[in-house]
């Protein structure tokens, strides 16, 4: 096992890796007041933002699925990294040299697997790119690009490369860099056959595929030579620990900023189409890599498209006008209602893809193609109607019946009226006829199928809730939770002397109190104090709860002052006194005032004092604005 990273190095990474910057790599964040930021949670499926980030305290928290923690927890959760790997990753990105507690710097073999695989892929990308630029063998690759209107600058911008035909060039290069064959097989760069390891890509033009952060995770490879024994025009990296084809989008690293600022994403079909779009000024283009556009791709784009409190962006597909493209559109139409409402289709009348379009008609034509988008439902509706001869009365009846089924399948009922009117106009019949047909189609729907889902889905039942977490909405725990929030958020205003862990009635809350007050409270807001709370981030559960305390807004409307904070703590003490009063009263009732007169009198005296204390605490709570 690798030695532990030194605590002061972890602290240095934490100081430099701003949590809002790191989370922004994956989620578009918008200001939400009070110094907090909001975005769509990447850990559960949602359409309005529940993820809150408080950069000044260094924590994030999701009000939907309760995910939360610090900058390391975030990377651990979203990338599936270990704590050490998360620290290593950020150290690399922010230029912190890590030292290990048990002697020396990290031996390369012991570093996290993910970092190794990313490094191997990055080195491969560099190696391939220089081969494309320099090697004689790569001439057909350079020709391929120039035939499609891409110059040397474009090739460099997209990091395009060439894999030598020999079959061992990359393998030898990476062995020399200290990689083992099994690592290269895991990275998807090398395959192993009966005669040993060999380069997976041979004699092909390569596009490095990056994730949001810009890390290279895999490659797309195009056939160049007629004698290539692999027939497939395109090959991709197989699924690896880094590369999941259902999640990756080619170009997303370049497009993410444009997607979020322009509230638009354009989905095209191939690598050269992504390049053509970007070169033409459509900087929002991405493409799936060797697979159809799926739910995970949609989720990824949605997180980038978040506009204020609603998902309002447009996703534009450049479907081919052909059958496959139309089938893809029909399939998309059966999907999620809100997704459909935001989905547009851009079809080039002559069936040209963006790359060919740019080549034959120039950059402006590509921009126009995107600008001429039509809503998906209209595209599908016209498709259905195109099968009929609308000049014939009997065909009009059939067309309306067919199209009504489509309109009735729309789950967002608010859209049905508009679609019905549009259908009426397109076919040229009486609107009542169309309405009746849509009603009939609706009533034929199988039972149990949802008929409307325009309301946002909340809580899909998969929220990871730890077993021992109190429900903070329970009024009883809410006061304790609120007091803990006050301590974590306003530590410089807190006087913890009158309170101890015993004032908290749930073991988890009690433990949190101990954890939070174990570190001396700062006399002024101090980022280092917040960081110290989760220094032992090996316990993600503690980090998660502390993040909730640090990020959740206080219940009060005004900015808390020392009186309010003191009142919140007094409220918790008052509840303790209340419980003691009740316990004492119960004992008094069970004590005979004549036979146990001295016990009785002593307890009675205690009760009077306790009641006084309880009232004083109550006054302090109310005086500070806490009822
Ligand atoms: Zn969530």
What is the per-residue pLDDT across 251-300, written as a single tens digit (0 to 9) for each?
A: 999 998 888 888 899 999 899 999 999 999 999 999 999 888 887 888 78
Please count the CA atoms within 13 angstroms of the CA of 500 that sit on its side-chain side: 1
Residue pLDDT, tens place only, 342-375: 788 888 888 889 999 999 999 999 999 999 888 8
Split at pLDDT 50, 70, 90, the class of 318 is confident
Report which of residues 531 and 325 the model is more confident about.
Answer: 531
CATH for 211:
3.90.980.10
Distance between Cα 531 and ligand 1 center (Å): 22
- Residue 121 and residue 105 share a domain: no
Asked if 395 and 341 sit in the same domain, the reply is no
Q: Which residue has the higher pLDDT, 1 or 313?
A: 313
Q: How far apart are CA 81 and CA 88, in angstroms?
A: 10
Q: What is the pLDDT of residue 466?
A: 39
Q: What is the dihedral of CA 211, 550, 457, 265, to 10 degrees?
A: -30
- Give the count of beta carbons closer than 10 Å to the beta carbon of residue 176: 8
Among 371, 399, 422, the domain-final residue is: 371
**Domain identity same for 341 and 302:** yes
Same domain, 98 and 163: no
Burial category of 583 from C-beta neighbours within 10 Å (exposed 0-12, middle 13-18, buried 19 and up): exposed
Q: pTM of the predicted model, to two decimals?
A: 0.63
Percent of the chain with pLDDT over 70: 86
Ligand 1 midpoint to CA 66 (Å) = 6
Report how far residue 374's alpha carbon sits from residue 390's, in angstroms, rounded to the nearest whole number. Answer: 22
CA of 91 to the centre of ligand 1 (A): 26
Q: Looking at the structure, tell me whether residues 324 and 204 fall in a common domain.
A: no
Q: Quick check: is 190 in a domain? A: yes
Please, which pLDDT band fits residue 54 given cuts at 50, 70 and 90?
very high
Q: Which domain holds residue 48?
A: 7-110
Length of the chain: 627
Among all chains, which residue has been given the structure tokens 């903070």? 472
- Give a yes or no: residue 294 inside a domain: yes
**Does residue 382 lie in a domain region?**
no
Residues 494 and 612 in one domain: yes
> Are 617 and 489 contained in the same domain?
yes
Distance CA 42, CA 357 (A): 36
- pLDDT of residue 468 exceeding 50, the answer is no
The pLDDT mean for the chain works out to 83
- 101 part of a folded domain: yes
What's the whole-number mean pLDDT along residues 14-20? 89
Are 412 and 507 contained in the same domain? no
Query: What pLDDT score was predicted for residue 263?
Result: 84
Domain shared by 157 and 181, yes or no: yes
Q: How far is the CA of 212 from the centre of ligand 1 (A)?
A: 19
What values do phi and psi take at 111, rounded to 5?
A: -70, 165
Q: How much distance in Å is there from the Cα of 11 to the middle of ligand 1?
A: 27
**Distance between Cα 313 and ligand 1 center (Å):** 20
What is the tally of structural domains in the chain? 5
Ligand 1 centroid–CA 49 distance in Å is: 9
Q: How far is ligand 1, taken at its centre, from the CA of residue 506, in Å?
A: 24
pLDDT of residue 43: 87
In a domain, 51, yes or no: yes
Distance CA 443, CA 405 (A): 10
Q: How far is the CA of 290 from the centre of ligand 1 (A)?
A: 29
Q: How many Cβ atoms are within 10 Å of 616's Cβ, its own excluded? A: 14
What is the rounded average pLDDT of the residues 12-36?
A: 89
Q: How far is the CA of 24 from the centre of ligand 1 (A)?
A: 15
| Of 441, 346, 447, the residue nearest 403 (C-alpha) | 441
- At 339 the pLDDT is 64
CA dist., res. 66 & res. 481, Å (int): 14
pLDDT at 326: 66
Q: Are residues 292 and 350 in the same domain?
A: yes
% residues pLDDT > 90 (the chain) = 37
First to last CA, the chain: 54
**Alpha carbon of 26 to ligand 1 centroid (Å):** 14
Kindly state whether residue 454 falls inside one of the protein's structural domains.
Answer: no
Could you tell me the distance, in angstroms and rounded to a whole number, from the CA of residue 68 to the centre of ligand 1?
A: 8
Highest mean pLDDT (candidates 146-160, 367-381, 556-570, 595-609): 146-160
Q: What is the arithmetic mean of pLDDT over 589-614?
A: 88
141 domain residue, yes or no = yes
Assign 457 a pLDDT band (cuts: 50, 70, 90): very low
Q: What pLDDT shows up at residue 47?
A: 82
Give the model's confidence band at 615: pLDDT under 50 very low, under 70 low, under 90 confident, else very high: very high
From the CA of 44, how far away is ligand 1's center (Å)? 5
326 shares its domain with 439: no
When pLDDT is averaged across residues 505-526 and rounded to a whole number, the result is 84
Q: What spacing in Å lies between the alpha carbon of 171 and ligand 1's midpoint?
A: 41
Q: Which of 236, 260, 285 is the last residue of a domain?
A: 236
The rounded Å distance from CA 459 to ligand 1 centre is: 9
Give the mean model confidence (pLDDT) for residues 38-48: 87
- Of 236, 271, 297, the residue at which a domain comes to its end is 236
Q: Which of 68-72, 299-303, 306-310 has the lowest mean pLDDT?
A: 306-310
Same domain, 522 and 544: yes
Query: Does residue 597 sit within a domain?
Result: yes
pLDDT reported for residue 327: 67
Higher pLDDT, 428 or 362: 362
């Amino acid at each position: 096992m690798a030695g532990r990273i030194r605590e002061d190095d972890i602290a240095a990474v934490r100081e430099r890796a701003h949590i809002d910057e790191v989370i922004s790599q994956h989620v578009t964040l918008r200001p939400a007041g009070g110094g907090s930021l909001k975005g769509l949670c990447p850990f559960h499926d949602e359409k309005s933002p529940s993820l809150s980030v408080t950069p000044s305290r260094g924590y994030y928290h999701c009000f939907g699925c309760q995910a939360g923690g610090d900058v390391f927890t975030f990377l651990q959760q979203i990338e599936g990294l270990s704590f050490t790997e998360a620290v290593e990753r950020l150290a690399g990105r922010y230029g912190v040299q890590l030292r290990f507690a048990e002697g020396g710097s990290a031996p390369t073999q012991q570093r996290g697997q993910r970092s190794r695989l990313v490094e191997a892929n990055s080195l491969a990308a560099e190696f391939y790119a220089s081969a494309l630029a320099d090697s004689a063998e790569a001439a057909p690759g350079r020709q391929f690009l120039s035939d499609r209107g891409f110059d040397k600058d474009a090739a460099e911008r997209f990091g395009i490369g060439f894999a030598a035909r020999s079959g061992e060039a990359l393998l030898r290069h990476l062995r020399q860099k200290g990689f083992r064959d099994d690592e290269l097989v895991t990275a998807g760069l090398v395959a192993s056959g009966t005669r040993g390891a060999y380069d997976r890509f041979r004699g092909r033009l390569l596009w490095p595929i990056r994730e949001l952060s810009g890390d290279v995770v895999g490659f797309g490879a195009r056939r160049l030579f007629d004698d290539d024994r692999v027939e497939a025009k395109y090959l991709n990296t197989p699924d690896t620990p880094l590369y999941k084809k259902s999640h990756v989008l080619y170009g997303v690293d370049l497009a993410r900023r444009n997607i979020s600022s322009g509230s638009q994403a354009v989905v095209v079909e191939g690598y050269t189409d992504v390049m053509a779009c970007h070169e033409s000024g459509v900087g929002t283009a991405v493409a799936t890599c060797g697979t159809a556009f799926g739910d995970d791709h949609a989720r990824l784009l949605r997180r980038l498209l978040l506009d204020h409190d609603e998902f309002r962006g447009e996703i534009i597909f450049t479907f081919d006008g052909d059958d496959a493209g139309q089938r893809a559109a029909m399939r998309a139409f059966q999907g999620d209602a809100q997704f459909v409402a935001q989905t547009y289709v851009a079809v080039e009348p002559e069936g040209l893809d963006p790359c060919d379009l740019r080549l034959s008609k120039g950059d402006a034509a590509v921009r126009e193609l995107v600008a001429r988008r039509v809503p998906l439902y209209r595209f599908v509706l016209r498709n259905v109607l195109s099968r009929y001869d609308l000049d014939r009365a009997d065909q009009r009846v059939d067309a309306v019946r067919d199209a009504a089924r489509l309109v009735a399948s729309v789950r967002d009922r608010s859209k049905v009226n508009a679609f019905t009117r549009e259908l009426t106009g397109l076919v040229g019949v009486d609107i009542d006829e169309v309405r009746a047909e849509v009603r009939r189609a609706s009533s034929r729907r199988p039972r149990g199928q949802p008929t409307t889902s325009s309301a946002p889905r909340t809580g899909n039942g998969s929220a990871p809730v730890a077993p021992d977490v109190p429900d903070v909405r329970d009024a009883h725990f809410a006061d304790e939770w609120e007091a803990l929030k006050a301590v974590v958020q306003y530590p410089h205003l807190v006087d913890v002397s009158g309170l101890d862990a015993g004032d908290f009635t749930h073991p988890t809350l009690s433990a949190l109190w101990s954890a939070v007050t174990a570190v001396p409270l700062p006399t002024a807001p101090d980022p280092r104090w917040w960081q110290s709370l989760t220094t032992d981030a090996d316990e993600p559960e503690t980090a998660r709860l502390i993040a909730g305390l640090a990020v959740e807004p206080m219940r009060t409307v005004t900015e808390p002052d020392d009186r309010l904070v003191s009142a919140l703590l007094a409220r918790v003490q008052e509840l303790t006194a209340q419980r003691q009063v009740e316990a004492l009263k119960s004992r008094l009732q069970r004590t005979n005032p004549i036979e146990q007169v001295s016990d009785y009198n002593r307890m009675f005296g205690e009760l009077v004092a306790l009641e006084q204390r309880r009232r004083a605490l109550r006054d302090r709570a109310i005086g500070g604005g806490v009822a």
